[in-house]
Amino acid sequence: MNDLGSSLLALQQADSFFPGGGVAWSWGLETLVTDGGASLETVSSASRATATAADHGRDPVSKSSRRPRHQDRSHAVQAFVEGQLRYRWATFDRVFLHAAWHAADHLPSLLDLDQQVEALTLAEELRQGSRRVGQSLLGVHTALGTSGAAAFQQQVSQGHTPGHLPVIQGMLWRALGLSGEHSQLAAAHSLCTGLASAAVRLGVMGHIDAQRVLAHIQPILLELLATPPASLDDASGFTPLAEIAVMRHETQELRLFAN
C-alpha cells in the first residue's frame, strides 16, 4: 500500500465516527472534574509552572491568577492530555503497539505482548479499560473481516488472552496495511481527541477550546513520534494522580463515563 492509502486508512481508524468504543472512557478526567477542578489543576501545575517560567521568564503563579476561569480549566485539560500522551501513551502504549505491529503475523508473540501489558498495568480500572476498548475494536474488525481479527477474538473469548488496546491496534492496523508511523499517529490522535471530547461532554470547555487543545498538542505529538519507541524492557507509565482518579471513579454516585 502506498503512503496515501495508508494515510487514508489512518484517518478512518482515528475518526471518532469509527465505533472503536473509546468514547465511553475518560481515563480519570471525570473524577478530577467532579472534584471541583482543583484536582485537575494539581495534575498540571508542575508542568505548567516549568513551561511558563521557561517561555516567559516570569512567575507562573501570578500569570495564572490573571487568567479567566474558563481559560484556567482549558489549560488544565491541555496539560492533562499532554501528560497522558507523554507519560503513559508514548512510554507504554506506543511501545506495545509498535511491537505488536512488527509481530502481527505471529500469534504467540502477540499473546505474549498482551500478557505483558496485563502484568505491567497496575490499576485494575486501567486494565479493564484497555481490555474493553481493545475488545470492542477487535469485535468491529472481526465483523469487518480484517485478517487475523477472528483468530485473536477466539483467543480472547476462550480466556487465553485479555485483548489490550495497544496490542489489538498494532496487530489489526498492520493487517489493514497501515504503516508503523501511521498506526502510532492514529493511536495517539485517537487518545487526544477522545480526552478533548470527554472534557467537552463534561462541560469543562467548549468545542473551540477543545480544538485549541488539539492544536497545542499536535507539535508535541510529532516531536514524540520523531523519536524511536522505547524497548519493551523500558516500557513504563507514570501518571499517578490520573490513576488514583480512575480508581476512585467507581465510588461516584453519578457517572457519565466508564472510568
Q: What is the pLDDT of residue 111?
A: 97
Q: What is the pLDDT of residue 43?
A: 52
Mean pLDDT of all residues in 60-74: 51
Q: What is the pLDDT of residue 147?
A: 95
Cα-Cα-Cα-Cα dihedral sign, residues 210, 74, 22, 110: positive
Among 2-16, 154-168, 169-183, the minimum mean pLDDT is found in 2-16
How large a percentage of the chain has pLDDT more than 90? Answer: 58
Q: Does residue 170 carry a pLDDT above 50?
A: yes
Q: Does residue 58 carry a pLDDT above 60?
A: no
CA atoms within 13 A on the CB side of 156: 23
Domain limits of the chain? 3-251
How confident is the prediction for the chain on average, in pLDDT?
Answer: 84
Among 26-35, 123-132, 188-197, the minimum mean pLDDT is found in 26-35
- pLDDT band of 60, cuts 50, 70, 90: very low
How large a percentage of the chain has pLDDT more than 70? Answer: 81
* Angstrom distance (rounded) from CA 188 to CA 256: 23
Total Cβ atoms within 10 A of residue 226: 8
Cα-Cα-Cα-Cα dihedral sign, residues 35, 128, 211, 57: positive
Q: Which three cell numbers stand for residue 55?
A: 517561555
- pLDDT band of 39, cuts 50, 70, 90: low
Q: Which three cell numbers stand for residue 87?
A: 507519560
Mean pLDDT of all residues in 80-97: 95
Angle, helix 165-176 to helix 3-14, in steps of 10 degrees: 140
Q: In CATH terms, is domain 3-251 a member of 2.60.120.260?
A: no
Q: pTM of the entire structure?
A: 0.84
pLDDT tens digits, one per residue of 196-253: 988 898 888 899 999 999 999 999 999 999 999 999 999 999 888 888 888 875 655 5
* Angstrom distance (rounded) from CA 115 to CA 211: 36
Mean pLDDT of all residues in 123-147: 93
Q: Which three cell numbers stand for residue 24?
A: 465511553
